Amino acid sequence: MFQMAIFALPLFMAVTAGRFAYETGAGVMGAIVVGLIAAVVAFGVAQLILATTRSTALRIIIAGAALARLATPIIPVQDPARLA
C-alpha cells in the first residue's frame, strides 16, 4: 500500500496538472514541464512525510488519503467559450 501511495500519487498529480496546463493554453511542452514539476514535488512531499512519520497508524492514514484521492474521478476543465 505504501508503494502505491509513493509512486501512483506523483503519476496522478503529473497527469492532472499536465491536463490542466494543456487545457488552459500552456501547449504540449508547457503541460509536460508542469506535469514533471508536479510529479517531483508530490514524490518529494510523500517521501518526506512518510520518512518522518514514526506511527504506523498515521502512515496508513496518509497512504489511505493518497489512495482515496486516486479513486476520485478527474473533472475536466470547462472552457466558457465552448459552453456558449
Does the pTM of the predicted model rise above 0.95?
no
Contact residues for 15 (Cβ-Cβ < 8 A; gap 6+):
35, 74
| Residue 31 pLDDT | 93
Give me the residue spans of the domains in the chain: 2-71
| Residue 34 pLDDT | 93
Give the confidence band of 30 by pLDDT, cuts at 50, 70, 90: very high
| Residue 69 pLDDT | 65
Can you tell me the distance from the alpha carbon of 75 to that of 58, in angstroms, rounded to the nearest whole number?
29
Question: What's the maximum distance between 2 C-alpha atoms anywhere in the chain?
Answer: 53
41 has a pLDDT exceeding 80: yes
